[in-house]
Structure 1
């Protein structure tokens, strides 16, 4: 058979083996699908062939990662056409699965009459990560093979499972360690001989259909928070109800309509934007891909607090030795014990073995002497936000560590250029702004100072990828990208509660928009006394007054909200009284504030500030800003990030609203020049 399409056919005894080559996505393009159909038909016509094996290799791709692939998936012959040919074949067709078989490759396998997998195979439907449902009827087939519960978990999580779990669930019929093709051929032969039952999904009943309502209700409880505000959960549950209640062909037709509706909708488009944006962040226009990087084999951390410990864990997880420094033994012991407690917790949950914990802890060295960092290739300072303290530390480090070592600050607001000037090596100084908790949050703002060299930047971006972070390069300014934009939202939220809203009103609007929590709930979680001291407090803001009353957030059982023993928040009469009294003292006439105004007052200034950041060159791309907000602040991915959202609702709408608020609220709402220019030119942030 012609192999130019990436498909070949071979016959061994009475079994034909049809093999699709692995490699770049999309493996199941229209030409490959056509070749597979041709090969299948050729095998069916041969009288010496009694059964067929379809070898689906590692790298089998998911359709739908971008607009072009969705259109490709709809070209004739479609994936559904290919699946129908397999399902209706007069001879048994068995899938042989090896490596990672995801998306379209896995959906193809679900249409076969049996499935045999290598021990190392991983199977999955990653469409959820793109705001989509599978495009090839996977819900109808998988629910009949493995049940509603397993299907829900796989479809809504987007997480791949291993071959053993797939066999236990009933998805795979046989897992083998040795010759996969020979095992699949033997299995196919047994079906042809009647020694093994065919497991064509369309012929099976949904095994847990009687538990349908309880399972679907449980899915709403489990996934409802994560997927709130999206159609993904609603349409997935609809497809599962159809699977349990209707014949296979009818369910397949309905699921196809639902999956295409979701794939072509605004949510999936936003998710695809996010996926492209995350790929793009690694491309720095003035730093060639071939730029030489520096070796990083040992890392030093200054500060063993919450941030320092979390940062250390990122490097320990990748096998890099870490030396962590504190000024007092108690603080050092506490920091090291927190790291161990975090790892022990992961081991108890089955995320790693106890041996893995011990390996990581052996890589960690605690010390009270900065001099012990002399041999480190990279030293990250993670002490509190005080410029003089940071400059003093960097001056000492400059004299201790090798001249070719990199020095980085985890500062979230301060001027990295000023910090670099405290050293004799400004070209080897930059900011590495981790987000809390640093061992979990994906975002890393790589702060490019004025004199940071290109090899240092290339090295740290590569290192970000190595430790599993999404690295975004940003410029030096107060708060960089994320916190600079956050300040706009926080300012307006604080003003709104004095003008007429209550903290729980603001939080509810932003939560319903899709953010994980509102600004006041977030303040309570972090602690209202963060950056506050009784000695300097003047009782001039709601936050100061609450702190003076020892209402400092969840940790004290009261902040903006009151909390019960389970830390469940309820609106507080005390806070309401504080707000009303302060507004009266300031002579403010309170008014009813609509949800729409709350949302626009909090979100539109962020978009406007993003425009200023772009104009000043503090972010490379508008999509980089979106990546910062999705991975660092929980901006809902189905809304694509603040800059994408601005384009989606229309920059003319943003500009007109900013001008209207400027007239009533003052120059905090003055439109960014870039925003005005883009509206005048009829362009969006995505056109830059």
Structure 2
């Protein structure tokens, strides 16, 4: 059984393969993940620590698997990502559940697959597919993986039982033709043309990033060099990336993105013990740039919105602007014309706050004026039902001072979107001294539902920012 490929798992897998080969009663070996998934890659927390280079390293484990005298079958369910997929590529056979997914996401943290993934995958899938998959960190469903020769069988039943049955059919079969290090790369004759096509795509979609180009170079090396030499170059390239500033910044971002939603309040309430309410309808006050952008975020997530703007001409202009933004999404193939119409169907405009009497949440997005916001919140407190959350898009004003204008300070919070709201993923949720845990849970869950990367901060520290800069450069090919 396998989990994340930290040192102890690598060690157990390494020793397990050796013991299985020494046991005369064992005729075939199946590697399967424990729980819901095949290994989801290396333990990123081990990067830059002694554990990452402690023997056996992942390549040594892979060589032990590939050199096994008995057939080794990887049984993939859930996801096989990064180092997990590299382990599978070292096996003689790969089978997977029909709903499984595989991929090399290393490029997303500024790296490349560093345990021979860039050299092995092209020998199964061909260069074009490998370049596209590795350079953009794409996850591929099992059916596509099977179609491109990465998998030997798709399973729709119990993956372990099907793996055992598969193993009985391959016992005694020659293994040399199943060892990828001894195979040639598919479509090798077109390597230069395929590289140039992929490079043009990378320059367009991943402008200024080093890792995608290194990924392409390493895949190209799988043709231009012997297997061993290409692996040596892969190691050199990943070491350059690991010690570079882009990878350091992207790894910081990776951990920050995952830690931010795991909020905890001083009272002990947290994401783990507080249930959010479901927001079915929302109101947005202010039809300027921010209000219109926030409305787009909500309707794209399927949340019906009432947009309030007392200036009717400005309201009409905002409705046209929102329609234009959605038209842009259609042109970029990010939504269909039907989806655009569905979004517009759940957007209503009004010039009075009275229309917000039954919404579950209101997001105020007028300009930064404390007295104006307090006036609006006092009116909302009277108009809205008692359970409605009252939120402000303020970036600088005191949430407690805004909340004090209401009789429900426990249901007041800051929901600070970043402009343009329908593009920028960061969302800062700010809680005041009287904001309830349930309100915090609800606004955090709501932000997640909108696809935002969240940050929960206490009122007095909300204006402290950690600025992270990733600098891009050009490199030689």
Q: Note if contact 1:407-1:429 (Cα within 8 Å) is conserved in structure 2.
A: yes
Aligned residue in 1 for 2:11 = 34
Q: Where does residue 202 of structure 1 map in the other structure?
A: 181
Q: Is 2:285 aligned against 1:302?
A: yes
- Which residue pairs with 1:288 in the alignment? 268
Distance 1:124 1:333, change over 3 A: farther
Residue 389 of structure 2 contacts residue 412 of structure 2 at CA under 8 Å; is this kept in 1? yes
Q: Secondary structure at the residue paired with 2:102?
A: strand
> How far does the alpha carbon of each residue in 1:245-296 deviate from its partner, in whole angstroms, 9 at most, with x for none?
1111221122123223422444333332222333343445635234745524
Counterpart of 1:612?
A: none
- Find the residue that maps to 2:80 and give its secondary structure: strand
Partner of 2:420: 437
Cα deviation digits, residues 530-564 of structure 1 (max 9, x gap): xxxxxxxxxxxxxxxxxxxxxxxxxxxxxxxxxxx
In structure 1, how many angstroms separate the alpha carbons of the residues matched to 2:450 and 2:343?
A: 14
Q: Does 1:111 align with 2:90?
A: yes
Shift of 1:42: 3.7
Query: Within 5 Å, which residues of 2 pair with 1:477-516?
Result: none
In structure 2, relative to structure 1, the CA distance for the partners of 1:429 and 1:174 (3 Å cut) is same
Tell me which residue corresponds to 2:53: 74
1:95 deviates by: 1.6
Distance 1:102 1:638 in 2: 26
Counterpart for residue 407 of structure 1: 390
TM-score of the two chains, using structure 2 as the length reference = 0.82
Deviation at 1:138, TM superposition (A): 0.6
Asked if structure 2 preserves the Cα contact closer than 8 Å seen for 1:410 and 1:432, the reply is yes
Q: Does the aligned pair in 1 maintain the 2:107–2:212 contact within 8 Å?
A: no
2:44 is paired with a residue of what secondary structure?
A: coil
Q: 1:269 to 1:315 in 2, by over 3 A?
A: same
Distance 1:97 1:408 in 2: 45
Q: Are the aligned partners of 2:396 and 2:463 in contact in 1 as well (CA < 8 Å)? A: no
Aligned to 1:62: 41
CA contact (8 A) 1:274 1:637 kept: no
Partner of 1:164: 143
Give the structure 2 partner of residue 142 of structure 1: 121
Of the three residues 182, 192, 195, the one matched with 1:216 is 195
The match for 1:93 is 72
* 1:257 alignment partner, one of 203, 214, 236: 236
Larger Rg: 1
Report how far residue 108 of structure 1 moved. Answer: 0.5
Matches of 2:314 and 2:451, distance apart in 1: 28
* Cα displacement (A) at 1:21: 4.1
Q: CA deviation at 1:163?
A: 1.2
CA separation of 1:281/1:32 partners in 2, compared to 1, >3 Å: closer, same or farther?
closer
SS at match of 1:66: helix
Q: Distance in 1 between matches of 2:20 and 2:197?
A: 45
User: How far apart, in 1, do the equivalents of 2:314 and 2:301 lie?
Assistant: 25
1:498-552 per-residue CA deviation (whole Å, 9 max, x = no partner) reads xxxxxxxxxxxxxxxxxxxxxxxxxxxxxxxxxxxxxxxxxxxxxxxxxxxxxxx
1:234 shift after superposition: 4.7
User: Does residue 174 of structure 1 match 2:153?
Assistant: yes
Contact 2:290 2:419 in 1 (8 A): yes
CA distance in 2, matches of 1:39, 1:296: 48
How many equivalent pairs are there? 467
2:227 is matched with: 248
Q: 8 Å contact 1:143–1:243 — kept in the other structure?
A: yes
Superposed, 1:521-536 pairs within 5 Å as: none
